[in-house]
Each structure stands twice: as structure tokens, then as C-alpha cells.
Amino acid sequence: MKDHIQNILMIRRGAIGDIIFTLPAFYMLKANFPNSKISFLVKDNYAEVLKGFPNLDEILIIKKKDLASKNIAKLWAMSSDLYHTIQRNNYQLAIDFVGHGEQAFFLWLSGIKHRWGSIKTRKPLRQWFYTNYFIRELDNVHLIDQHLMLLEKGGLTRLPIKNQYVVPREHMDKAKKLFQHWGLSLQEPTLFIQPFTGNGVTGKIWPLERYVALADYWKERGLQVVFGGGPSERDKLNTVAAQYPVAAGQADFVTSVGLASLSSIVVGGDTGLMHAALATGRRTVMLVGPTNYKRIGPYQHPEWAVRPQSGNVIQDIGVEQVLEATSAALSEISSFK
């Protein structure tokens, strides 16, 4: 099969963390098909995340507003444009990392010979539309590894796993300039705090005042502290901005990953930036509430997850518990004095 695959399409429309979870699969495809072109289909509001996928050949965009539209004409036009793009690019292999029924049917209709799907639960009709599928029912196996299992099931060779998010130089330069603007040193240990999750799921957000207490504690002990956050979260962090540098509103996602990669420790909840920071090689401390930390927590480092000692929501994690976790993490960092 490998000799006949020239064009490959990866599909994960969102969200940030889920896209990051396809990164090792991307590298596995690159290694198995070194001469093939790889494209990635994604929603427009998540496209910038793919800047950290080195040497990705093409990004296909689906507009979020068109996808959510109830206007049949718009949906038809979007589907038609995508269909013709897929036909024009002549993909021989498509990997659908979410396994929606409409995507399975669409790929079958498009005539792609090899259609691989990662399916959440058993769906006989949906399974029929794929030529290879994997059912994600392994609760204690990380989603990244389940994606790799799909590729292995398709006959690909599982080489040493590579989970490396590469921040482009342009964004690293922006991150360094922000450090300079804030009066921070690149040579001093820095704590990066990501206080909110992207989708604001109840039970996943640790109270902001506790993050501030964490920041105050480590600032008194000589650490530089930076708060992250998306543009829409700037107002929530106005009071924090009076005491600490805040990236929200000043840095896009990829530049924020650059800021995290310049830091010593990255602390936050189960959110996309945390997974991207880990993929840059940063030591993370991830606060996990109702989600399965073995399935979607810190990849290859479940011990870096901080979980409630009782209860199952993130608010059940105390400040002292996170202080202990960050202290243990800092003890591993040679630059911490």
C-alpha cells in the first residue's frame, strides 16, 4: 500500500487539545510515507494551531459559521467546495480522528480508496464506510496512543513516538519580545500559569484566586510569573494584570505556546495550551477534575496530573496540593536556584 500513497488527508476539525493529540500520528505518517504530501482539514478558528506541525503541506479550511449554519444552501455550497477540493487533490488515504457519521459517509462518497476512522463507540453503519477503523473504548489508554493504534491497525510501522510541537521562529521572536517588554529575563526561572480552559466546561476550571495565591507564593521565592489566556479572557484577568504580566490579549495561541516554552514550569487545567506546552518539552503541572487523566492528561506523564484527593471536580484541589506539585516539578529543573 505504501508505494501507492502520494496524498494523505488528516481530519480533526477541533478543538485545540484534540488537534495536538494528532501530532504523534502526523509524525508517524511522515515516517511511513516520507515522499507523500500530507494535508489537514480543520475549522478556520483552529487553523493557526497547525503552525506547530512542521512541514505540513496544506491546510484545508472549513468555516465555523458555515458549518453551524442552518441555511441549506450554505451547507450545500460548503460541502460541494470541499468535495471538489478533495477530488482535485486526489487523496489515496484519509484519516478521520473523530469518526462522525457524516464525515464517514462524505469520505466514502468522495471515492478515497483508504478511509480510516477513529470511532468513539460501536456504530455498525458508520464502521462500514471506513476501510479501517479503531473504536476508542480504552479508558486507561491515552487518546494519542489510540490514534497510533488506528494507524498500526492499518499496517503502518510504529516507530519511536514523537510528540514535538515546533513554535515557528516568528512566534518565538514575538514571545521573547514580550518577555523583554515585561522586564523578564530569559535566564531566570519562570512560572507560566494558564488559568482557564478553552471551552469553560463546568468542573474543569480552578478558581482564579487560587492561581493568584500560587503566583504570589512563588513570586516571593524568586520566580518570575506570567499568566496566559485567550483574547476573550482579558477582562477576567484585569485585576491580575495589575500584579503580573498577562499574555491574554497580547499573544495569539502559537505565541502563547512560545511563552510557555520559554518558561520553566507550566501550570493549568486540561486545555489545549497545556498539551502544546508539554509537546514543546516543558514540564507541566496539569490540574484535572472530572476528566480521565490517563486518557487525556499529560501524555506519557500521568504523574504530572494533580487530581482531587476527594471529590471529582477541580475545585476540590487545594492550593497546598498544587504548591507541592509545583515544588516537586521545580526540583527537577536545573535552572531553579
Tell me what pLDDT residue 277 has.
Answer: 98
Provide the grid cell at 14.
477541533
Which one-letter amino acid corresponds to residue 134? F
- Helices 319-331 + 208-220 axis angle, to 10: 40
Of 135, 115, 137, the residue nearest 123 (C-alpha): 135
- What is the pLDDT confidence band of residue 16, given thresholds at 50, 70 and 90? very high
Percent of the chain with pLDDT over 90: 79
- What is the pLDDT confidence band of residue 170, given thresholds at 50, 70 and 90? very high
Query: Who has greater pLDDT, 166 or 312?
Result: 166
Q: Which domains does the chain have, with CATH numbers?
A: 2-153 (3.40.50.2000), 169-331 (3.40.50.2000)
The stretch 218-236 carries a mean pLDDT of 95
Interior CA angle at 260 toward 64 and 251, to 5°?
Answer: 50
- What is the pLDDT confidence band of residue 291, given thresholds at 50, 70 and 90? confident
Share the mean pLDDT of the chain.
Answer: 93
Q: Is the pLDDT of residue 199 over 70?
A: no
Which one-letter amino acid corresponds to residue 65? K
Tell me what pLDDT residue 337 has.
Answer: 38
Which pTM value belongs to this model?
0.94
Spell out a b/e string for 120-131, using b for 16 or more CB atoms within 10 Å of the CB, else e. eeebeebeebbb
Tell me what pLDDT residue 336 has.
Answer: 46
The stretch 204-221 carries a mean pLDDT of 95
Q: Is the pLDDT of residue 68 over 90?
A: no
Q: Judge contact between 184 and 226, C-beta under 8 A.
A: yes
Provide the grid cell at 74.
450554505
CA distance 167 to 134: 31
- What is the pLDDT confidence band of residue 307, given thresholds at 50, 70 and 90? very high
